[in-house]
Amino acid sequence: MSSKDDGSLSEKQSVGAEQLKPHVASSKVDIAAQLTAGKDITLTPEEAVRIRRKIDWHIMPLMCILYMMQFADKTTLGQSAVLGILQGDHLSQAQFNLLGTIFYVFFLAFEYPQNLALQYLPVGKWMSFNIFVWSVALLCHAAADTPGKLFACRVFLGICEGAITPGFMLVTAMFYTRQEQTQRVGWWFLMNGFAVILLGLVAYGTLHIKATTLMPWQWLMIITGIITFVVSILFWFFFPDSPTSAWFLTPEERVLAIERIKVNQAGVENKHFKSSQFRECIRDPKTWLFFFFAAISNVTNSLSNQRQLIVAEFGFSDIDTTLLGCVDGVVEIIVIFCTVTSATYWKNGRAYSGALAYCVAVLGAILVNTLPSSDRIGLLFSYWISITSIAPFVVMLAWVGSVTAGHTKRTTTNAIVMIGYGVGNAAGPQYWKAEYQPRNRVPWTILAVCWAVSGALLLVTRWYLARENARREREPRDERYDEVYITEVREDGAKVEAKVDKVRATLSRLGMRGAADGCAQAFLDLTDIENRDFRYAL
C-alpha cells in the first residue's frame, strides 16, 4: 500500500534489522496515537473509574444544559401556537407549518458543511460559536413582525443546529467506551424532556405578564434567548475539544483517558480528511440503513411542534394546555431513561429495545384515532403513550457512534444520518393540515405507519451487523497492524519514531483479554471495515 493513499500504512526498512515494519507519519494517525505511542501505560480498573467520573462531572452537565436549551429553543415555535402567534393576521396555519419546514431545509443544506467544520476545527469551540449565533437569532424572533422576518430567524436556527447533535455524537465517542455511550447519549438526549417542562413553566408565566406591548410568545423568545446566550459563553470557556486537550485533566490523566477508550478500536480524532474513508462510508450498507431510519422516524417529529394544538383540540383551555405540556416532558424523561437503560443492560438488545418502544407508540396512535372525541382524558393519555416514539432515535444515535470507526468516516456518517433527520423533519409538518382538524386521523395514521417501519429498520440493521460479525469470526486473524510505528519531526529537524503498542497486559488487567488482539489498530484511524478485529455492537 502507498503512503500517498490518504495516510494508509506503508512498508519501510528498519534500521539495522532485516525485517520490514509498517510505518506511518504522525499527521496521518489518530491524535491519540501521537499522545500514547512509545509509552508503557498501566491503567487499573480503579483509575479507569476515577477518570470516567471526572469526565462525567466536567462535560455531562454542560452537554445536558446545552441540549436542553437547543431543544427548548427550536420548540418555542410549537409553544407559541397557544401564546398568540397564530392570532389575528400575524401568521396563518400554512405559514406556521412552513416555519417548521424552513428550519429543516436549511439544516439539511448546511449539515455536511457543519460536519466538515467539526472535522477541521476544534469541536467545542465550533459548537459554542453556533450556539451563540443561535441565541441571537432566537432573540430576533421577538422583533419579527412579519412572516418573512420570522422565516429569516428560523433559517439561522436551522443552519446552527447542524453542529450540535453531530458534535455531541463525536464528543461522546471521544470520551466514553462503547458500553458507556448509549447511556451517556441517553442522559443528554433526555434533557429534551426537561426542556419541555422548562418551556411549559416559562410559557405559563408569560401568560400572566400584563400591561406590556409584547405578546406572551415574544416574551418566551426573549427569556429562552437570554438563557441560551449565557450557556454559549459558558460552553466556550469550559467545554473541551477532546481528551488530549481537556483542561480538567492533568497530562498524565489525558493519557489514561485515551487508554481507557482503546477498547473501542475507533480512535479519538484526526483532523486530516481521508477521501478513502469518505468513499467507504458512501458504499457501506449500514450507513444507508441508519439514514433511512433517521429520515422515516423523524417524519413523526413534527408532533413536537403540533403537540400544543393537538391537546387544545382535545378540548382543553390554553392555560390547561400549557401546564399539561409539562407532563409531556416528564413522559419523555421516563421513556428515554427506560429505553436507554434497557438498551444498555439488555445484552445485544439495542434494536429490540427500540422496536419495543415503537410498538407502544403505535398502540397510542391507534387509540387516538379510535377513541371517541368526548373521551378527552383517554385521548390525552393515548397521546402521552405515543411519546415513547422519541426514545429509539436516542438509541440509534449512540449505536451509530459505536459501530463506526475512522474519524473521517465517523463525521461523514454523522452528516448522512443527520441529513436523514433533516429530511424527515422537513417533510413532517406538511401533513398537519387544517382540513384534518380537530381529530387529525390522517396524520396519526401516518405516524403509526412510520413508527412501524422504523422499528422494522432497527431489526434489519441488527441482523446485518450480526451477520457481519459472524463472517469476521470465521476469517483468519489480520496481523498487518500488530507492530506499527509513527514518525514525528522535532523542531531541530530530527525524525523520531515511536511504536503504537498493543498493550495486551493493560487490557488483560482490565478483564478485557478478548479486546487485546488487534488493539494496535485502535489509534491508527482505521475504519471499522479496514480493522477486521472490529466487532459491531448489537
- As given in the structure block, the three cell numbers for residue 17 are 534489522
**pLDDT value, residue 97:** 77
pLDDT by residue (tens digit) across 241-271?
Answer: 888 888 898 888 888 888 787 765 545 555 6
Alpha-helical (H) ranges within 284-317 are 285-298, 303-313
Average pLDDT over residues 77-83: 75
Tell me, what amino acid is at 414? Answer: N
Count the alpha carbons within 13 Å of 506 in the hemisphere toward its beta carbon.
19
Residues 166 and 139: their CA atoms lie apart, in Å, by 24
Average pLDDT over residues 100-129: 86
Average pLDDT over residues 508-514: 34
**pLDDT value, residue 57:** 93
- The rounded percent of the chain whose pLDDT value lies above 90 is 20
Residues 137 and 157: their CA atoms lie apart, in Å, by 7
Q: What is the CA radius of gyration of the chain?
A: 25
Classify 194 as helix, strand or coil. helix
Block residue for cell numbers 458500553: 179
**pLDDT value, residue 505:** 31
CB 340 within 8 A of CB 188: no
State the pLDDT confidence band at 40, using cuts at 50, 70 and 90: low
Residues 514 and 507: their CA atoms lie apart, in Å, by 9
**pLDDT value, residue 288:** 95
Residues 353 and 342: their CA atoms lie apart, in Å, by 6
Residues 140 and 225: their CA atoms lie apart, in Å, by 9
Q: How many angstroms separate the Cα of 296 from the Cα of each of 33, 58, 238, 293, 299? A: 38, 35, 36, 5, 5
State the pLDDT confidence band at 286, using cuts at 50, 70 and 90: very high
pLDDT by residue (tens digit) across 424-446?
Answer: 888 877 777 777 878 888 889 99
Tell me, what amino acid is at 144? Answer: A
Average pLDDT along the chain: 79
Q: What angle do CA 519, 525, 528 make, to 5 degrees?
A: 70
Alpha-helical (H) ranges within 28-92 are 31-36, 45-74, 76-80
- What's CA 140's distance to the chain center, in Å? 27
DSSP-assigned letter for residue 486: E
Nearest to 127 by CA among 169, 163, 161, 159: 163
**Given a cut of 70, is residue 8 above it in pLDDT?**
no
CB 152 within 8 A of CB 141: no
pLDDT by residue (tens digit) across 434-484?
Answer: 778 788 888 899 999 999 999 999 999 999 999 999 998 888 876 665 555
Residue predicted with more confidence, 73 or 172: 172
Q: What angle do CA 464, 290, 526 make, to 5 degrees?
A: 75
Residues 400 and 410: their CA atoms lie apart, in Å, by 8
Task: Specify which of 90-104, 119-133, 470-484 reaches the highest per-range mean pLDDT.
Answer: 119-133
**Given a cut of 50, is residue 10 above it in pLDDT?**
no
**φ/ψ of residue 461, rounded to 5:** -60, -45
State the pLDDT confidence band at 314, using cuts at 50, 70 and 90: confident
Residue predicted with more confidence, 145 or 153: 153
Q: For CA atoms 216, 219, 225, 226, give the dihedral sign.
A: negative
pLDDT by residue (tens digit) across 386-413?
Answer: 988 888 988 888 888 788 888 788 888 9
Average pLDDT over residues 294-311: 82
CB 488 within 8 A of CB 227: no
Block residue for cell numbers 444498555: 344
- As given in the structure block, the three cell numbers for residue 53 are 467520573
pLDDT by residue (tens digit) across 318-368?
Answer: 778 777 878 888 888 898 888 888 888 888 889 999 999 999 999 999 998
Residues in the chain: 538
Q: What angle do CA 399, 455, 196 make, to 5 degrees?
A: 75
Residues 82 and 104: their CA atoms lie apart, in Å, by 22
**φ/ψ of residue 13, rounded to 5:** -70, 125
Average pLDDT over residues 194-210: 82
Q: For CA atoms 321, 323, 327, 330, give the dihedral sign.
A: positive
Look up the pTM and report it. Answer: 0.69
Q: How many angstroms separate the Cα of 191 from the Cα of each of 125, 166, 333? A: 22, 16, 7
Block residue for cell numbers 439544516: 107
**Given a cut of 90, is residue 310 above it in pLDDT?**
no
State the pLDDT confidence band at 233, using cuts at 50, 70 and 90: very high
Taking the CB of residue 205, how many other CB atoms lie within 10 A of it?
Answer: 14
1-4: long-range contacts at Cβ-Cβ below 8 A with a sequence spacing of 24 or more? 3/28
User: Cα-Cα-Cα-Cα dihedral of 239, 243, 244, 248, to 10°?
Assistant: 60
DSSP-assigned letter for residue 38: T
